[in-house]
A and B are shown apart, each in its own frame.
Chain A
Amino acid sequence: MALWAALAVLIIFGGVIVSLVFGAMPAMKAFGLGFITTEAWSPTRERFGALAPIYGTLVTSTIAMLIALPVGIGIAIFLTELCPRPLRRPIGIAIELLAGIPSIIYGIWGFFVFAPWFQLHVQEPVATALVDIPVLGTLFGGATFGIGTFTAGLILSIMILPFISAVTRDVLETVPGVLKEAAYGLGSTSWEVMWKVCLPFCSTGVVGGAMLALGRALGETMAVTFVIGNSHRIAPSLFAPGTSISAAIANEFTEATSELYRSALIELGLLLFVITFIVLTCAQLMLMRLEQNKGK
């Protein structure tokens, strides 16, 4: 019985792959590899290309990682080394609460509260300040809507922050005390102990945790759907609306009337699954190596 239950897990996994491939078949036959490299997305003319959603997914995740990685590690260091003891638990729990909030809540909050504020107090000043600078001007230029690719990336970063800081904190705690004491004994500052002793010691764990977080960011649906703006084109400005794989599926699936349209959306899902599978596998392998080292 226990064996059957364990096999059920494998069957579900296999079922996911088979059903996605099966569902994506018509689109794969119609567009071939060109699906990944074309930007056109026109349900009326039955032309579908995945470039814009793929671009959106990658860009939002990159923005999220660029923000969440340093901040998450910073939080972990603060909690393990610098925070006064009585505050450690409450602050740790508070950060973990961020992970417990469902993604639709981030979505509705981002849409109604954060985006208007962000547009008024960040996007407009930044866009005006950078307008004459060549590259930055394009990257952060154009009309500001509040919602858009950058906003989605920012909200994603808040969502994955707790994952990175939780894993980093766990691995920082595995650093043997003697190692730290030895470094302090040589006269190192806290910064030097952290940067040159602790983080190199547990770099695999930190990278593994970051990959797990990246996996979440890539597949996150509801929060992104609310704030990304759902526009199927690749805009040069990060402030412009875009779309991501998951947002496109969530938004259009129930409206997809033709067989080919639905199939194209399922193929998007298949692509997302493949991408996250690769990222998560890397994360697993790294964390596994960490487990083994711990055993030695």
Chain B
Amino acid sequence: MIANSALYFRRRLANRLFIGLSMSAALFGLVWLTFILGGLLIDGISALSPTLFTEITPPPGSKGGLANAIGGSILMSVIAVLAGTPIGIFAGTYLAEYARHSRLAFVVRFVNDILLSAPSIIIGLFIYELLVVRMGHFSGWAGAAALTVIVIPVVVRTTENMLILVPNGLREAAAALGAPQSFVIKAVTWKAAQAGIVTGVLLAVARISGETAPLLFTALGNSGWNWNIGKGMNEPMASLPGVIYQFATGPYEDQHKLAWAGALLITATVLLLSIIARTLENKKRT
């Protein structure tokens, strides 16, 4: 009996310890989150001002805004999404609808997952070799191309996942009415998976709006802004994350403030996008 109660005691102690440890693990995560968001809010809000959106990035020692960086980021992201989304949706459709179990689909799926998690700086090097070296200079197009390469795998993955959830009965019903496969996909499965696909695109936008590494040596950065968009895209272009990196690592106090303001803007955008994506996803499930 005595041996038994010692055993019970030990087991209960181990259990308490374990519960305590996993609670502190959760606490650990939450503490960091508040730490980071808190720091960001404190330093970011004090640096916010309306001139952020109206003035371009200043030379050291003077005041200015982030307008050219915000513009560059939006422009390159829009182009990347416009170019990447169709490719991603079609590829995802191929995987889910046309060749779900074929060997080619297996390889594409595998490669896509690798690209999805591949270091983004590698994508930057790839576009550098592909476009910057060929064209002979850094450009907004190269930046947009790098972001496109990041958009595609995200959209492929979510599109496929969402299409697989569409019940087969729907497809069969449409096919039984005599609709050819392409029409079934266009009019039935895409419709059914619409919310999910939009979620995927939103997630892709969230992902690229914070990407820095692939832009460093594709779009490079630019302290001005060219209103002739076509020409501007052919020149080096500023981006919000790029400016943050450049300003934060520099020695000037004014630029640090702008970097913090930019950081706050990006985080707010990204978190907002992921929250919208999440609510869309939940609405679909219920």
Which secondary structure dominates chain B's binding surface? Answer: helix
Q: How many residues on chain A are close to B (CB under 8 Å)? A: 83
With A and B bound together, what is the CA distance between A107 and B210 in angstroms? 12
B130 shortest CB reach to chain A, Å: 6
Contacts of B284 in A (CB 8 A): none
Checking B113, B121, B241 against A280 with a beta-carbon cut-off of 8 angstroms, the contacting residue is B113
Q: Which residues of A contact B139 (CB under 8 A)?
A: none
Q: Does any Cβ of A come within 8 Å of B125's Cβ? A: yes
Closest to A77 in B: B22
Q: Is B115 an interface residue (CB 8 A)?
A: yes
B249 to chain A: closest residue by CB: A226
- Chain A positions 43-93 with a Cβ under 8 Å from a chain B Cβ: 70-75, 77-79, 82-83, 91, 93
Once the chains bind, are A284 and B114 in contact (CB under 8 Å)? yes
Do the beta carbons of A221 and B267 come within 8 Å of each other? Answer: no
CB pair B119 A191 closer than 8 Å = no
Q: Does B30 interact with chain A (Cβ within 8 Å)?
A: yes
Docked-complex contact A219 and B249, CB < 8 angstroms: no
Complex Cα–Cα for A183 and B94 (A): 44
| A145 CB–B CB distance under 8 Å | no
A1-B90, A100-B271, A249-B121 known; A22-B29 Cβ under 8 A? no
Contact at A20–B126, with CB atoms within 8 Å? yes
Q: By the criterion CB–CB under 8 Å, are B213 and A222 in contact?
A: yes
Overall SS of chain A's interface: helix
Interface string of A83-116 (1 = CB under 8 A from B): 1000000010111011011111111110111100
- Distance in angstroms from B165 CB to nearest chain A CB is 15
Which segment, of A26-34, A125-133, A174-182, A270-278, faces chain B?
A270-278
Instruction: Determine if B211 is an interface residue (Cβ-Cβ < 8 Å).
Output: yes
- Cβ of A180 to closest chain B Cβ, rounded Å: 15
Which residues of A sit under 8 angstroms from B211, Cβ to Cβ?
A: 102
Residues B103-118 near A (CB distance < 8 A): 104-105, 107-108, 110-115, 117-118
Within the complex, which residue of B15, B22, B108 is in contact with A9, where a contact is CB–CB below 8 Å?
Answer: B108
Q: Is B97's CB within 8 Å of the partner chain A?
A: yes
A206 to chain B, nearest CB (A): 14
Instruction: Report B83-112 residues with CB < 8 Å from chain A CB.
Output: 86-91, 93-95, 97-99, 104-105, 107-108, 110-112
In angstroms, Cα B35 to Cα A185, docked, is 42
> What is the bound-complex CA distance between A68 and B56, given in angstroms?
40
Q: Is the CB of A190 within 8 A of B121?
A: no
Q: Indicate with 1 or 0, residue by residue over B18-46, a CB within 8 angstroms of chain A CB atoms.
A: 11011111101110110110011001000
Contacts A105-B36, A250-B121 aside, 18 further interface pairs with beta carbons under 8 A come to A10-B111, A23-B129, A82-B22, A93-B278, A95-B29, A97-B274, A98-B32, A101-B267, A102-B210, A102-B267, A191-B11, A219-B118, A221-B119, A222-B213, A246-B213, A250-B213, A272-B122, A280-B113
Binding site for A on B (CB under 8 A): 11-12, 14-15, 17-19, 21-26, 28-30, 32-33, 35-36, 39-40, 43, 86-91, 93-95, 97-99, 104-105, 107-108, 110-115, 117-123, 125-126, 128-130, 149, 152-153, 156, 206, 209-213, 216-217, 220, 241, 244-245, 248-249, 256, 259-260, 263, 266-267, 270-271, 274, 278
Q: 9 smallest A-B Cβ distances: which pairs?
A: A102-B210, A219-B119, A74-B25, A5-B90, A2-B94, A19-B129, A189-B15, A191-B18, A5-B91
Interface residues of chain A, those whose CB is within 8 Å of chain B, are 1-10, 12-13, 15-16, 19-20, 22-23, 70-75, 77-79, 82-83, 91, 93-95, 97-98, 100-109, 111-114, 158, 161-162, 165, 189-192, 194-195, 212, 215-216, 218-222, 225-226, 246, 249-250, 253-254, 266, 269, 272-273, 276-277, 280-281, 284
